[in-house]
Amino acid sequence: MSTSDKKSAALLADIFCRKGLKYIVISPGSRNAPLIISFAGNSAFEPLSIFDERSAAFFALGLAQQTRKAVAIACTSGTAALNYAPAIAEAYYQQVPLLILTADRPADQIDQGDGQTIRQKNIFRNYVKASFELQENFSSEHDFRRAERILHRAIDLTMAPAAGPVHINLPFSEPIYSQVENHSWTLKYSSPVKKISGFSEADAAPYIRSWKKYSKKLVIAGLSPPDPALAIQLQRITGDPGVRLLSETTSNISGCTACTCIDKIVSTIRPEESENFRPELLLTFGGHVVSKMIKTFIRNNQPAAHWHIDPAGYPMNTYGCLSSVIKAIPEQFFSFMQSQTLKTGFGYSGAWADRDQRSEERHIRFLRDAPYSDLKVFEIILQHIPENSSLHLGNSTPVRYAQLFKPFRKLAYFSNRGVSGIDGTVSTAAGAAWATRKITTLITGDLGFFYDSNGLFHDYLENRLKIIVINNSGGGIFRFIPGPDSTPHLEKFFEARHHRNARFIAKAAGIEYFSAGNMTELSTELKNLYNTSSPAILEVHTPGETNGEILRNYFKYLAE
């Protein structure tokens, strides 16, 4: 088995293999030839070729999101690397393990008029856990061991103590296509990814003492992958009537007592009722929370203490009242708290549960007679998605509408809520489907779909990938949030009003296409979407002019 004669590329591939990692998404180029030769010729890897670097990086994000292992991306020099930036930023804030490999020219060629040459060293410094640069060859044992240590550290950092992207810049001088049969070296350092030390009973002791003092404890779960062990711990914690757990679909908390539709509750809390819902202790974990309403409520009704759990100890002060950061895996922390269930709490949990039930009853009544709209479309779609499958939610309105419906079909929910941009939704879902080989549904808005339509033009669209495009002729959220609809620029500059559809994009990509414009068509075409044995798009046309008004009426009805 041949490999590149560039020792840095060959050593990187060797260590990547020894770590038990297999996925690398390569974008075609010339300067990255040593990486292509070293990885693509090794049967231990599954190298994938995607020409658009932005799409390639989001595809890798989807792979890593599902496998929870580092996925490498490799590109040529120049602006190719800059196209990785959106996915890298998302991976950083979502804590997804990516190893970014950018080929480069030698330092003496930078800023000297050579093509495809920019300043690449530390190019992603604001959005990666660490940046490294390797010399292409090693003239001494010392240089070799240094490179070996760097590569182990770089790959380990992608996954511990909290996951995230790490960048390695690799300058290569010409010739860049030369190969050798193998390199004669002996690796010295251990291969497994280093694990973080556990959260001990001694670490937990001060929190246990404080936990007992509070009778109104609110736990908010942010963006998290499915974790059955964590759900078990949370089920035990919520046995205390002084504890209420709030979660979202993207928290993936199932099998425990939780209020899963936060906005449906918080939108009904009148100012004179706020004290009944204000926590004494706020405990948060996971990534970003979709609900702006709960953020506003907590900021206006601050608890005495706010603890945030993060494996890396990052002080995420979302609510403006952070008092302590707990450096632990959430499951570890809650395993110590479960024995502190007090069976008291003056009905704090019950207040949330009663309001949750009231809101759900009104939700059902409103939907029963709701006209055809984005809101009604989501109700119908969620009833048709197959159980035990994955649902990816585009940003803007799709992820927000999903939070209004209780999880009921045993779905695993995902969304790029690290940075919350609309870019990369198609590519991320495609990568996730390729990793799991299970039914993966993406619900995205029209602009998000068009923005990432390049995510359809490669050879890795899994047959179980189903894309539902909610086409309301523009950015529908701007007809709901206050502000844009009061300006004369709504349609052109905020909403980006259009009359385009996805039919010919699907045709160009060679995948099946379905379309619906009313409730009867939607139910029929959803069945067709999931019955087809190939990747497919269902485009759902909804009335953009009235969607915002219907959603406002919905929240008004909940609060009556």
Q: What is the full DSSP assignment across 455-504?
A: GGSSS---TTEEEEEEE-SS-GGGGTSTTGGGSTTIIIIIS------SHH
Percentage of the chain modeled with pLDDT above 70: 93
Please give the pLDDT value at position 188: 83
Per-residue pLDDT at 495: 52
345: pLDDT strictly greater than 50: no
Instruction: Tell me phi and psi for residue 81, to 5 degrees.
Output: -65, -40
| 391-402 average pLDDT score | 95
Is the model more confident about 238 or about 153? 153
End of a domain among 301, 327, 355?
355
- The answer on 429 and 460 residing in a single domain is yes
* pLDDT band, very low/low/confident/very high, at 347 (cuts 50, 70, 90): confident
Tens-digit pLDDT profile for residues 505-538: 999 999 999 999 999 999 999 999 999 999 999 9
Mean pLDDT of the chain: 91
Q: What is the mean pLDDT of residues 166-184?
A: 93
Least reliable range by pLDDT among 239-243, 530-534, 554-558: 239-243
One domain, residues 341 and 386: no
Q: Is the pLDDT of residue 186 over 50?
A: yes
What is the C-alpha separation between 62 and 392, in angstroms, rounded?
10
Is 195 part of any domain? Answer: no
Based on the fold, state whether residues 166 and 84 are members of the same structural domain: yes
Instruction: Supply the pLDDT for residue 338.
Output: 75
Say if 194 falls within a structural domain: no
Output the pLDDT for position 343.
Answer: 56
Q: Does residue 486 carry a pLDDT above 70?
A: no
| 495 phi, psi to nearest 5 deg | -80, -25
Determine the residue type at 315: P
Lowest mean pLDDT among 182-196, 451-465, 507-521: 182-196
CA dihedral 27, 33, 36, 38 (to 10 degrees): -160
- Residue 362 counted as domain residue: no
The residue assigned the tokens 């992608």 is: 158
**What whole-number distance in Å separates Cα of residue 544 and Cα of residue 54?**
29
- Domain presence at residue 53: yes
Contact between 350 and 372 under an 8 Å Cβ cutoff? The reply is: no
Residues 329-339 have a mean pLDDT of 86
The CATH number of the domain holding residue 161 is: 3.40.50.970
d(CA 398, CA 161): 32
Structural domain contains residue 188: no
Question: What pLDDT is stored for residue 75 in this prediction?
Answer: 97
Mean pLDDT of 84-111: 94
Residue 346 has pLDDT above 80, yes or no: no
Q: What share of the chain is helix, strand, coil (3-state, %, to 5)?
A: 40, 15, 40
Clarify whether residues 210 and 341 are in a common domain: yes
The predicted model scores a pTM of 0.93
| pLDDT confidence of residue 212 | 85
Residues 258 and 161 grouped into a single domain: no
Q: Is residue 424 part of a domain?
A: yes
Question: Is residue 98 within a helix (H) or strand (E), and if so which, with residue range?
Answer: strand 98-104
Average the pLDDT over 6-12 and give the result.
95
Clarify whether residues 172 and 312 are in a common domain: no
Choose one of 321, 355, 389: the last residue of a domain.
355
Q: Which residues pair with 392 in a beta bridge?
A: 414, 442
How many residues can be counted in the chain? Answer: 560
Mean pLDDT for 285-312 is 97
**CATH code for the domain in which residue 229 is found:** 3.40.50.1220
Cα distance between residue 542 and residue 545, in whole Å? 9
- 246 and 285 co-located in one domain: yes
Q: Do 211 and 109 fall into the same domain?
A: no
The predicted structure's pLDDT at residue 182: 85
pLDDT at 484 over 60: no
Boundary-marking domain end, from 323, 355, 387: 355
pLDDT in tens, 408-442: 889 999 999 999 999 999 999 999 999 999 999 99
Mean pLDDT lowest among 48-57, 334-343, 437-446, 534-543:
334-343
Decide which of 375 and 160 is more confident: 375
Across 308-336, average pLDDT:
94
pLDDT recorded at residue 493: 45
Of 212, 222, 226, whose CA–CA distance to 245 is shortest? 222
* Count of the separate structural domains present in the chain: 3
User: What's the CA gap between 470 and 447, in Å, rounded?
Assistant: 9
Range of the domain at 281: 201-355
Task: Answer yes or no: do 292 and 376 share one domain.
Answer: no
* pLDDT-wise least confident of 153-162, 231-240, 298-307: 231-240
Rounded to a whole number of angstroms, the CA Rg of the chain reads 25
How would you label 193-207 residue by residue, b for 16+ Cβ within 10 Å and e otherwise? beeeeebeeebbeeb
Mind listing the pLDDT tens digit for each residue in 206-227? 999 999 899 999 999 999 999 9
* 405 and 516 housed in the same domain: yes
Mark whether 145 and 246 lie in a shared domain.
no
In the structure, what pLDDT confidence band is assigned to residue 196 with cuts at 50, 70 and 90?
low
186 belongs to a structural domain = no
Answer yes or no: are the C-beta atoms of 106 and 80 closer than 8 Å.
Answer: no
Q: Are 512 and 534 in contact (CB under 8 A)?
A: yes
Residues 149 and 212 in one domain: no
